[in-house]
């Protein structure tokens, strides 16, 4: 362990895992419920059992864990879900976390359906940035992909409201799937380019077990970039940090950025500095893990900060996850990805 004093005086011990990776980003799922049923995440034709309220982490429990993670090296937080804006009084959690010394970036990922109502309160509470998921600009496709027939209008209004509240430029996440929205890539790029927002096109991933993933539904990052290149010339932008998952580009004509996230075709486990907390307080050290230890149970059993810190440091030190790289090796060998994985709506993206 090396001592680190770069977080505003909080004494800390930065840990690295077995592959030399620090823990820099913490993604916190605040709820497993969702008001959408996206085909690639929690398809509508399945039954889901959601956590009873008392099993969700409380805001105070989340804040306490965040303070400990900051001491181990975390600087960036992202609230996610399920749909985080369904968590009652979410802005109160934002206010608590924004006040934690050492947190340099506080973001939230949402499907945007409730964002028009919530954007100002979130910005006032100290949220830095918001990412909104948009798979189509057409109501019929949007309604099918998100499973319950919603129109995209309320989401686009939410994005405008977020920009008006000072949460822009907004990041847009777009999962691209063959036969669904691949032909809309350039239109989606153009719509958000005009408004100065940053789209990140994501390769459809084999997260969870309910989305019937198969390789032939994946549109690769190169295929996505080719579609955009047919309309606008662009150039690569250096990654701000090695652990950024997006490959970034800038349109030559206006300097607006977009990105592609090539989890399937060009895995990036080597720099992965992310930890994830599920809504019931389990710690996952990989998006594709099948389980993780319960921090909530340790908190509720009376663990001290020192106990928890020692546990977290030891757990991170023995981390050796590199699922996407292993998946790529398996696919090259003609094998399917490993079968046991936590669902995306339980741990967030």
Phi, psi of 331 (to 5 degrees): -65, -40
The interface region with ligand SF4, picked from 182-190, 220-228, 254-262, 267-275 by CB under 6 A, is 267-275
Residue 204 contacts ligand SAM per CB under 6 A: yes
Give phi and psi for 274, each to the nearest 5: -110, 135
CA distance 171 to 186: 16
Is 1 exposed, middle or buried, given 0-12, 13-18 or 19+ CB atoms closer than 10 A?
Answer: exposed
| Beta carbons within 8 Å of 226's beta carbon, 6+ residues apart | none
Tell which one of 213, 234, 288, 316 touches ligand SF4 (CB under 6 A). Answer: 288
* Min dist. Cβ of residue 254 to ligand SF4 (A): 29
Quote the CA–CA distance of 298 and 291 in Å, as a whole number: 16
- Using CB under 6 A as the binding rule, whether residue 344 contacts ligand SAM is answered as yes
Residue whose CB is less far from ligand SF4, 142 or 345: 345
Question: What residues from 168 to 187 belong to the interface with ligand SF4 (CB under 6 A)?
Answer: none
Size of the site for ligand SF4 (CB under 6 A): 24
Number of residues lying near ligand SAM (CB under 6 A)? 21
Residue 98: CB minimum distance to ligand SAM, A: 19
Restricted to residues 315-344, the positions that interact with ligand SF4 (CB under 6 A) are: 321-324, 344
Q: Which of 231, 250, 248 is nearest to 186 (CA)?
A: 231
CA distance 310 to 293: 14
Site string for ligand SF4, 218-257 (x = CB under 6 A): ----------------------------------------
Task: Supply the minimum distance, in Å, between the C-beta of residue 35 and ligand SF4.
Answer: 7
Pairing outcome for strands 25-29 and 274-277: parallel
Q: Which of 7, 12, 80, 285 binds ligand SAM (CB under 6 A)?
A: 80
Instruction: Kindly state whether residue 184 participates in binding ligand SAM, applying the rule CB under 6 A.
Output: no
Of the ranges 51-59, 204-212, 217-225, 307-315, which one interacts with ligand SAM (CB under 6 A)?
204-212
Which residue do the tokens 């400990």 mark?
A: 68
Give the tokens for residue 129.
């940035």
Interface residue with ligand SF4 among 12, 189, 345, 347 (CB under 6 A) is 345
CA-CA distance, 87 to 34, in Å (whole number)?
10
Tokens of 62: 């989340």
d(CA 6, CA 45): 49
Residue 129 contacts ligand SF4 per CB under 6 A: no
Task: Give the one residue of 175, 189, 277, 295 binding ligand SAM; rule: CB under 6 A.
Answer: 175
3-state DSSP helix/strand/coil % of the chain, to nearest 5: 35, 20, 45
Q: Does the footprint of ligand SF4 cover residue 90 (CB under 6 A)?
A: no
Q: Among 329, 333, 317, 225, which Cα is nearest to 267's?
A: 329
Q: Are 63 and 12 in contact (CB under 8 A)?
A: no
Q: Is 43 helix (H, G, I), strand (E, B) or coil?
A: coil
The correct pick among 22, 73, 81, 267 for binding ligand SAM (CB under 6 A) is 81
Our finding on whether 279 is near ligand SAM (CB under 6 A) is no
Q: Which stretch binds ligand SAM (CB under 6 A): 203-211, 226-234, 289-297, 304-312?
A: 203-211
Tokens of 289: 């893990």
Q: Which residues bind ligand SAM (CB under 6 A)?
A: 34, 40-41, 80-81, 83, 109-111, 133, 173, 175, 202, 204-205, 207, 211, 344-345, 348-349
Q: Which residues bind ligand SF4 (CB under 6 A)?
A: 34, 36-38, 41-42, 81-83, 111, 133, 268-269, 272, 274, 286-288, 321-324, 344-345
């Amino acid at each position: 362990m090396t001592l680190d004093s770069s977080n505003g005086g909080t004494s800390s011990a930065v840990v690295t895992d077995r592959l030399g990776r620090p823990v820099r980003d913490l993604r916190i799922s605040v709820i497993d419920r969702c008001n959408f049923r996206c085909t690639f995440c929690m398809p509508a034709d399945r039954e889901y059992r959601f956590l009873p309220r008392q099993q969700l982490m409380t805001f105070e429990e989340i804040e306490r864990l965040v303070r400990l993670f900051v001491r181990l090296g975390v600087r960036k937080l992202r609230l996610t879900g399920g749909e985080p804006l369904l968590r009652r009084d979410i802005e109160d959690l934002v206010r608590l976390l924004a006040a934690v010394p050492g947190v340099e970036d506080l973001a939230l990922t949402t499907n945007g359906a409730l964002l028009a109502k919530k954007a100002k309160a979130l910005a006032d509470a100290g949220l830095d940035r918001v990412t909104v998921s948009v798979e189509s600009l057409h109501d019929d496709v949007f309604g099918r992909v998100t499973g319950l027939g919603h129109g995209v209008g309320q989401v686009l209004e939410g994005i405008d409201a977020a920009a008006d509240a000072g949460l822009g430029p907004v990041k847009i996440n777009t999962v691209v799937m063959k036969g669904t929205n691949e032909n809309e890539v350039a239109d989606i790029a153009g719509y958000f380019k005009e408004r100065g927002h940053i789209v990140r096109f994501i390769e459809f991933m084999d997260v969870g077990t309910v989305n019937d993933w198969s390789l032939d539904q994946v549109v690769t990052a190169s295929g996505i970039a080719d579609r955009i290149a047919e309309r606008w010339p662009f150039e690569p932008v250096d990654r701000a940090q090695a652990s950024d998952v997006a490959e970034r580009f800038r349109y030559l004509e206006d300097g607006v950025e977009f990105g592609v996230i090539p989890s399937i075709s060009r895995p990036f486990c080597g720099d992965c500095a992310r930890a994830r907390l599920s809504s019931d307080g389990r710690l996952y050290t990989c998006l594709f893990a099948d389980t993780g230890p319960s921090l909530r149970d340790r908190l509720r059993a009376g663990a001290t900060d020192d106990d928890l810190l020692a546990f977290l440091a030891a757990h991170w030190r023995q981390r050796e996850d590199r699922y996407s790289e292993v998946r790529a090796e398996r696919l090259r060998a003609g094998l399917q990805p490993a079968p046991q994985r936590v669902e995306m709506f339980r741990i967030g993206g």
